[in-house]
Amino acid sequence: MTDEAYQQRTGRFAAMLIKQAAWPAVIVLACDGFAPLVASARGALHAPIAVLALLVAAASAVVVLGISALLALDVLLFRLMASHDNERSGCGAVDDLLARMRLRPAPSSPRPLDDRVAGTRRLLARQRITFAIFVIAFLTAGFWMPR
């Protein structure tokens, strides 16, 4: 991969990643902002299934927001990589930064870009699964709320 192709690929991945980190967080925050109002207005605190579904939705919302924060950190790390001339120096800069922040031990050689992208894609998959759990629990709570 040429140096310019590396920078473009890394920049595009960071741009895609910020969108993927933001939209689930915005939806979760919007839904969680209105959930207590709707639940109290409809008497959901008297339906045990609705209460359980709201608790599951709240727990999964926290996880979705946490993963979104991790993805936002990954965006910054990919942008740092893209600011370097080649893959070796960019990945080395990220490894150095993570080691100085004591988030990861310093590796003997920098991890390649493909490994980093694969790890971030696994994190994205976890976010989507957790977001699906949130949506199902949130809709279940709405279905079981007394009318």
* Residue 50 in this model has a pLDDT that exceeds 80: no
- With cut-offs at 50, 70 and 90, classify the pLDDT of residue 46: low
At 138, the pLDDT band (50, 70, 90 cuts) reads confident
- Residue 147 banded pLDDT, cuts 50, 70, 90: low
- CA dihedral 87→93→99→101, nearest 10 degrees, is -130
Sorted by where each begins, the domain ranges of the chain are 3-144
pTM metric for this prediction: 0.85
The arithmetic mean of pLDDT across residues 121-138, rounded, is 95
Rounded to 5°, the CA angle 106-112-115 comes to: 100
